[in-house]
Amino acid sequence: MSLVELTEKLQAGALTPEMVLGTYMSRTLEVTRELNCVTDFLPECEEQLQSLQERSDRGPLYGVPISLKDNYNYQGHYTTLGLIKNLERPASEDCVIVQVLKKQGAVPFVKTNIPQSMLNYDCSNPIYGQTLNPHNHKKSPGGSSGGEGALISSRGSILGFGSDIGGSLRFPSAFCGVCAFKPTGNRLSKIGLVSSCPGQKSVSAMLGPIARDVDSLVVAMRALLCDDMFQLDPTVPPIPFNDEVFSSTRPLRIGYYETDGSTMATPSMRRAVLQTKDLLEKAGHQLVQFNPPMVASSLFELAMKGLLADGGSTFLDNFKGDRVDANLRTQVTTYSLPSWLKSLLSVVVKPLFPRLSMVLQNTRGVSSVKELWKHHSEVESYRQQFIALWRAQGLDALICPILGPALTIGYPGKLSSAVSYTILYNLVDFPAGVLPVTTVTPEDEESLKTYEGHYKDLWDKLLKKAVADGVGLPVAVQCVALPWQEEQCLRLMKEVENLTKLERRP
């Protein structure tokens, strides 16, 4: 049953909230025994069911059980970020989005697993352990909203909520074969959402819904963009969901690209985009090639430098007095190097390993407030350059690859460079969504044998190994629109979903 059907039956009284919650609780217990995706059950949901019965206004999400990523503050429960020291600090109140969801009738019933610190796209930590991919237990479910991806894919939850600072909603969706949506950076309230790097402004973090179909994402966005949220957080622009844009049937001018010039697309990634392009053209849309500008330099010199502008100090503070998860050791070791050593090693490795050189150079941190302001200006200039190129080609929206298929567990922490397809749209702060469109074929696997990557370096070799043995795994595409055009992005996602129905399931 879809979320649309479930909400209709709940509103009509054909199903009761108690019956629905009990069903999902039972299913979630089965799923998490297998995949280890749930970190906390929220017993307050029973009390909430009682209060729902007493309300005259049921709300559009009346009686819908929902799951929440670990970093959503929920009163009386831990927001751990996978750090043992945070087990002493239960949240004092619900985050704004949870408050809004409750007002809209939703019933939060579980919290889900994440990678330690969330600055990683695997899904394990020293408290709760490793979450598994429902399609292949040797593969990662993605991260950092990996528990959500695994739970939603396995039908343990019908609607979940995660967050995204470099692909943290989109990776799990792509790896687990579900749908997710990252809005523009301030379309939804982030008050009470916990981060491991609070205060950085260069790369836009955002929260969003994750579900098994696009209609469910639309239901969630429509419910959240309400007066309750605008009153609880007056910094969020009071812009309700625009159904006219979402429901439009006019043909679109859609940009596309097969690879970004930084991380070479795997054969299945490339095929997913080209097949989707062909289907959209047959449906009457105009598809034009789009080349995003300077993706490699934007990844290292803008996104990575911005995230770690303090030299990684804030990020590393999370691990003081705590155990470092195995999947984070490469990152923590690299970021912990003294600035002078990073500079020296950057010069030494540059001839043979230019990407590692760029990582070392751009994780040293800025030396002054003046340099930080200059960096912020460079980020904004890049964003305006991107928008100008988009407008010069008259685009309504864009389709492009999303990393896939799912990487083998343990590899994401060694391949931070492979986030280029996703972090780009946090950097420029565009709404972006992901949905499955096909699965890996034996032909894709055969073509992977000749994959060398753009740089032909160690990371390209690691990526080839990480995505191998993926036959039958889901492959997704990413849909993108200009800032504040969430409805246009969701409209394209719905169109792609309709056109790829025959291709997207194993």
Cα separation, 323 vs 419, in Å, equals 25
Cα separation, 315 vs 433, in Å, equals 27
* Catalytic site includes residue 138: no
Say whether 114 counts as a known binding-site residue.
no
Say whether 118 counts as a known binding-site residue.
yes
Cα separation, 65 vs 57, in Å, equals 18
* Catalytic site includes residue 346: no
* Catalytic site includes residue 168: yes
Residue 167 CB contacts under 8 Å (≥ 6 apart), including other chains:
121, 402, 403, 419, 421, 422, 423, 426
Task: Using alpha carbons only, give the angle 15, 18, 20 rounded to the nearest 5 degrees.
Answer: 55
Say whether 167 counts as a known binding-site residue.
yes
Catalytic pick from 168, 189, 196, 202? 168
15: its two tokens? 């199903």
Say whether 144 counts as a known binding-site residue.
yes
Cα–Cα distances (Å) from 77 to 42, 197, 349, in that order, read 8, 21, 46
**Angle between helical axes of 214-224 and 3-12 (0-180°, round to 10):** 50
Say whether 365 counts as a known binding-site residue.
no
DSSP sequence for 408-472? BTT-GGG-GGGGHHHHHHHHTT--EEEEEEEE--HHHHHHHTT--TTT-SHHHHHHHHHH-S-TT
Catalytic pick from 67, 69, 216, 277? 69
- Torsion angle, alpha carbons of 199, 321, 419, 276, to 10: -100
Say whether 358 counts as a known binding-site residue.
no
Catalytic pick from 140, 144, 298, 346? 144
Question: Which residues are annotated as part of the binding site for substrate?
Answer: 118, 144, 165-168
User: Which are the catalytic amino acids?
Assistant: 69, 144, 168
Question: Which residues are annotated as part of the binding site?
Answer: 118, 144, 165-168
